């Protein structure tokens, strides 16, 4: 399943980024390249989803499928000239 989440990359002195997401509480990983960050985020997200399922915890709204006929919130970037 594909998800669209915001990521925050905080640089560390050693060239590695600490990666978190305001959309997914508990998501914390690291990486030094875009490919490494993407792979590590996928692994961390899979681990979190499994843990939430085992613990019977609900998943964050950003990871829930859209519900037809219900109000949805999206985030987008708009440029005004």
What fold, for 1-81?
A: Double Stranded RNA Binding Domain (3.30.160)
The CB density around residue 24, as the number of other CB atoms within 10 Å, is 21
**Strand order across the beta sheet in which 28-31 lies:** 8-11, 17-20, 28-31
pLDDT at 74: 61
- What is the average pLDDT across 27-46? 93
Give the pLDDT band of residue 69 (cuts 50, 70, 90): confident
Give the pLDDT band of residue 4 (cuts 50, 70, 90): confident
- The reply to whether the predicted model has a pTM over 0.95 is no
């Amino acid at each position: 399943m594909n998800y669209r989440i915001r990521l925050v990359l905080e640089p560390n002195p050693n060239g590695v980024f600490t990666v978190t997401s305001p959309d997914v509480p508990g998501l914390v990983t690291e990486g030094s390249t875009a490919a490494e960050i993407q792979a590590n985020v996928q692994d961390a997200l899979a681990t979190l989803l499994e843990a939430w399922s085992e613990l019977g915890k609900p998943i964050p709204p950003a990871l829930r499928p859209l519900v037809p006929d219900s109000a949805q919130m999206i985030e987008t970037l708009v440029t005004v000239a």
